[in-house]
Amino acid sequence: MSILEVQRILSHLGYNPGEHDGLDGPNTQAAVKAFQRKAGIKADGIAGPVTRGHLAEAYKNSRASEHFAMSEYQCDCDGMYCGGFPELMEEALLAQVENLRNRLGRPVIITSGVRCTQRNHEVGGIEYSKHKIGCAADLYCPGVHYSEVAAVARELGLGVIEYPEQLFVHVEV
């Protein structure tokens, strides 16, 4: 986990590490300290292995957005090749999927979020798939035709690929 990832996780969890610049500056250290205090571990402001472990766990267990748990986006290799989040989810995608769900006014099921390289290869994803960088999700909305889901996603400005055979829609930012 890089400093940049530490900063992205801290922001996602509601802490304020300052600019996501990949530098371990005073704002980041203060946010790490606040997180450590909350987690009940040694609050020294240094994101060492123990703290990084807690950050990864807290991220996995966090809400992705109001209606979605972060676990719904985790890699479905089931721990075969990765720990669930080989890459963090792009916040803009999480916000847009939430928007989509709210526009449809009913539950949306995510069938694939982030994917590690091995899993992406296994499911036949393209080499530069946005799933690999946390910028895409495959989803469907029970009771709503996939083409309508796709239309609403396009209106929201999402990149969309329809899969008529499998009845799901790929959305990406």
**Binding region for Zn ion (CB under 5 A):** 75, 77, 81-82, 116, 119
Pure H helices in 40-90: 49-60
Tell the smallest beta-carbon distance from residue 87 to Zn ion (Å).
Answer: 10
Q: Determine the Cα–Cα distance for residues 126 and 8; give it in Å rounded to an integer.
A: 26
Tell the smallest beta-carbon distance from residue 85 to Zn ion (Å).
Answer: 9
Q: Between 101 and 115, whose beta carbon lies closer to Zn ion?
A: 115
Q: Between 17 and 86, whose beta carbon lies closer to Zn ion?
A: 86
**What does the longest C-alpha to C-alpha distance in the chain come to?**
53
Tell the smallest beta-carbon distance from residue 80 to Zn ion (Å).
Answer: 7
Cα dihedral: 100, 105, 112, 12 (round 10): 60
Report residue 74: phi and psi, to 5°: -75, 155
Q: Between 77 and 158, whose beta carbon lies closer to Zn ion?
A: 77
Q: Between 81 and 163, whose beta carbon lies closer to Zn ion?
A: 81
**Long-range contacts made by residues 119-126, C-beta under 8 angstroms, separation at least 24?**
119/75, 119/76, 119/77, 119/80, 119/81, 119/82, 122/77
Tell the smallest beta-carbon distance from residue 126 to Zn ion (Å).
Answer: 17
